[in-house]
Amino acid sequence: ERHITLHSATAIELSCRLSKKYSHLKNPQVSWKRGNETIGNVNKIGNSWNINLEVLDSSKLGSYSCNVIGEEISSVVHLQLPKIDENKKPIISYEGDTAVMICKSHDYTPLSWTWYMINGSKQVAINDSLPDKYVIDRIPTNVTHLKIRKVTEEDDGVYWCEAAFKLGKSKGKQQLIVLSFLVPLKPFLGVVAEVIVFLTVVFLYELYSKRKKNTEDEKECDQVEQL
């Protein structure tokens, strides 16, 4: 299995060759497939089988397999666009702060970058013409930064960076979690609430005990007077 990265239109030759441990196979029949589609014009040269491709757009990308007919012997080549290096962990920010998300394209320079936000089931392009809210930095050209100022709960969600190459587009995913300043205080507030409840119970118990004692003293005084 092999992965080949392509970013622009090109001509490519894919070749598979049987290793020596399969020399016992006499006149093996080999086919090339893309998915379930069999590819014609296979050139056999010695112990190898080759196909030539003109990769002009992303429709030619995908997985190509070379299979020995009647045998469980195969080889797979994946033609793919450059992958985007993304932050796998969610970015956590507090309301009012500035959040920064980064995407990178290693070894390949995109023609352009675009940022999107997922709003429900829709993908909404981020407009960097609002500098008070969004700032998109594309320098160096293989890196893009999305800066969101004064984040609010509405900014919480999933973001996509899209790199455009001559052969197609690749995407990277980022997640932004916006927290309220009350979130770190919740454990403390919980402890305070428990302390207040405890002190209230103690106070009520002391008050009840004091009233009960006064009532008993009054009854004792009444009995003494009667005597």
pLDDT, residue 217, reads 57
Going from the N-terminus, what domains does the chain have, and what CATH number goes with each? 2-80 (2.60.40.10), 84-179 (2.60.40.10)
**CA-to-CA distance for 2 and 78, rounded, in angstroms?**
6
Which of 29, 96, 97, 41 has the alpha carbon at shortest distance from 68?
29
Query: Residue 194 is which amino acid?
Result: E
Query: Residue 76 is which amino acid?
Result: V
**CA-to-CA distance for 134 and 148, rounded, in angstroms?**
5
Q: Which residues of 136-170 are buried (b: 16+ CB within 10 A; e: fewer)?
A: beeeeebbbbbbbeebeeebeeebbbbbebebbeb
Instruction: Enumerate the H helices of the chain as residue ranges.
Output: 182-226
pLDDT, residue 26, reads 82
Give me the average pLDDT of each 10-residue run along the chain (227 residues): 93 90 83 90 89 93 92 91 89 93 92 89 79 86 92 92 94 92 62 73 75 62 57
- Return the number of other C-beta atoms located less than 10 Å from residue 62's C-beta: 13
Q: Is the pTM of this model over 0.85?
A: no
